[in-house]
Amino acid sequence: MTNTITRKQIRENLDNKVPMTIVEALPGKYFDDWHLPGAVNIPHDQVRSLAGEMLPDRNALIVVYCASTTCQNSRIATQTLQQMGYNNVFEYVEGKQHWLEAGYPVEPSQLDKASCG
């Protein structure tokens, strides 16, 4: 069973500086366009190979998202993390589209930041 988290809960966690790792489960080119604040990129098909290094604490709060409700990448990544023994993983089902519709802040990739001068 996949645990879910709402846009409002994520925003409250960010505002209150609740420790959490936000994971975008889309391919890097989409992450590079923009992503949720502080997110890391672990594409859904690379979770098994990257999670151990990028998510060392299996008890940490982890929020996984992808593009929208029609995208299944976040569900796949969330389930994979749970199978790997991560205990506090939540899926933000509505994803990037939903976040943007609320006008919430986003970040460009580090490459974009560096090239801006």
Q: How high is the pLDDT of residue 110?
A: 55
**Token pair of 111 as six digits:** 């490459």
- For residue 87, the model assigns a pLDDT of 95
Looking at residue 108, its pLDDT comes to: 86
> Which stretches of the chain score pLDDT less than 70?
1, 109-117
Q: Report if pTM > 0.75.
A: yes
Q: Give the pLDDT confidence score for residue 75 in this predicted structure.
A: 97
Residue 40 phi, psi dihedral angles, 5° rounding = -115, 160
3-115 has CATH 3.40.250.10 classification: yes
Dihedral of the CA atoms 69, 107, 103, 22 (nearest 10)? 50
